[in-house]
Structure 1
Amino acid sequence: MGETTGTEDKGLAADGTIRREGSLKHVHADFAPVVEAARVRITEAFGPERLHSAYLYGSIPRGTAIPGVSDLDLLVALHDGPTGPDRAAAEETGAALDSAFPVIDGVGLLLSPVRTLLSEAERDDGGFFIACLCTPLLGEDLAARLPRYRPTSLLARETNGDLALLVPRWRARAAGATTDEERMRLSRGVARRLVRSAFTLVMPRWGGWTSDLHRSAELFARHYPDHPERASQVRAAAATARTPSPEPAVLAMFIEDLGPWLAAEYTAAHGTKTPRTGE
């Protein structure tokens, strides 16, 4: 989103709540066949006994995807589970779509039971994700059962307030990465999360929502004028999220420098995410 009628578009509805950002109407013609194939394959893979609903998220339903570069992001809401066979079906579905459509570079297919997405614990994380960041593809839209959301400190805490837990996990994965492909995949995921955390750190002060990573980096820089070195690192992360790097030095900068600083800053501003069962 950009400028509208001379006023900065903050991704909000008239009542100040966050607008749902994606739509099937925004899917570019290049990606329409893979979206339709995803609809068919998900229906076949899970069937009415397992499948409650399915959603698109990410750049494809936002209309910003780049052919051959962007991945296909999907969420499948299950009646219960997920089970081992559900996970196998998800892997098989993602691999089949990725192989059949060179217009995408990878498929991410998340599985979650309806009860989790609608739970009180996930109200300001998984619930927000469904209501504002996901585009309905199949079945009942769970957003109808969720509240409207505002760009608050609570939302910041519950969506990205676990960064301090992620840094050690990234460090272990980086230490175990032996190929450029592994390092590129890790750099892309780490970079995306760091930019999103940098944005939600300043989101309540800015008073809006965006999923655009480059805009997120600029908004962070705007609200941290006394930290130009951090702004440069967040901009580098936004670039790496689009063009992953296999360089160990890039990963080290994200994981050993920017990540810990951002985690500490986040905790000071918003606190830590409410622990989930098993964390």
Structure 2
Amino acid sequence: MTTNQGSSRGSSQGTDRGLDRDGYIAREGSLDRVPAEFAPVVQAARERIAGAFGPERLHSAYLYGSIPRGTAVPGTSDLDLLLALHHGPTAADRADADALEAALDAGFAQVDGVGVLLFDTGTLLGDLERHDLGWFVACLCTPLLGEDLAARLPRYRPTSLLARETNGDLGLALPGWRERASAAATDAELRALTHVVARRVVRTGFTLVMPGWGGWTSDLTASAEVFAAHYPGRADQMRRAAATARTPGADRAALAVLIDDLGPWLAAEYAAVHGPKAPRP
């Protein structure tokens, strides 16, 4: 992971393509980029995390997503947080995280949903997660509280290894998505699932071609266009997936295309190009 925060996130049109001067993936967010409308939310998150978890449990806390990238839209964007704990998360930790999510979501109209990920530092710094969660913290997370784990992680290039370990398990997700789609009884459930599936498919499509493109972007539209240049036969499907990820609907037919057509093809192509992700316990 890179600890250099001086370079900015690159766009698909930029000359650096999300890389720093040395060709490593640059950390894409910073507190300086948080839009003014979201500053009170971030401050409240900092205070409530510290109060709820305390130094005996919390090693560090991070923001990720559109808010630290500076692209968040008031009333539409969610607040994404990652907490690194000294020990493996317990049921009590999860309950406190759930309460934190609910309080922040109810307290600020600027955000439409709050999500808190919990991991222990051993997992985040371990060899197995070095090119997945470790990379995520180092490159996609913005420090909010505590010691930045980025200082204890490597710097990352857009390699096939990174592609394999971040998204080489799409095929494992497909059966569960099919079950959830069949069980979805409301439009809200369908929209929530469609949002998850579409974003994951676009991310996977981008990382499939990321090593050849030679850069990084979190922008969904740019990701779809980078993929389209490499796989023109699937370009329209990926562009529709990106549009769906931005504004998910409750269209079962559109969801079925992602789960039963584009998704399986993408999983097979990914395995052929990069190989499967290392198995997790």
| TM-score w.r.t. length of structure 2 | 0.95
Task: Give me the whole-angstrom Cα distance separating, in 1, the residues matched to 2:32 and 2:229.
Answer: 32
Task: Give me the whole-angstrom Cα distance separating, in 2, the residues matched to 1:95 and 1:9.
Answer: 39
* Residue deviations 1:5-32 (CA, integer Å, cap 9, x gap): xx53311111111100000000000111
* Residue deviations 1:52-90 (CA, integer Å, cap 9, x gap): 000000111000111111111100000002000100011
Among 257, 263, 273, the alignment partner of 2:277 is 273
Q: Which amino acid aligns with 1:81?
A: G
Among 160, 166, 179, the alignment partner of 1:159 is 166
2:7 alignment counterpart: none
Note closer, same or farther for the CA distance 1:245–1:100 as it changes in structure 2 (3 Å cut). Answer: same
Aligned residues: 272
2:160 pairs with 1:125: no
After superposition, residues 168-207 of structure 1 pair within 5 angstroms as: 168-207=175-214
Q: Return 7-16 or 32-41, whichever deviates more.
A: 7-16
Q: Which amino acid aligns with 1:253?
A: V
- Where in structure 1 do 4 or more consecutive aligned residues deviate above 3 Å? 1-4
Over aligned residue pairs, what C-alpha RMSD do you find?
1.1
* Residue deviations 1:65-118 (CA, integer Å, cap 9, x gap): 111111111000000020001000111100111111111111111000000000
Gap runs ≥5 in structure 1: none
Among 260, 266, 269, the alignment partner of 2:264 is 260
Q: Which amino acid aligns with 2:17?
A: K
After superposition, residues 89-104 of structure 1 pair within 5 angstroms as: 89-104=96-111
Among 132, 136, 144, the alignment partner of 1:137 is 144
1:250 shift after superposition: 1.5
Match of 2:245, SS state, is: helix
Task: Give me the whole-angstrom Cα distance separating, in 1, the residues matched to 2:238 and 2:41.
Answer: 32
Q: Return 175-184 or 138-147, whichever deviates more.
A: 175-184
Q: Percent identity?
A: 68
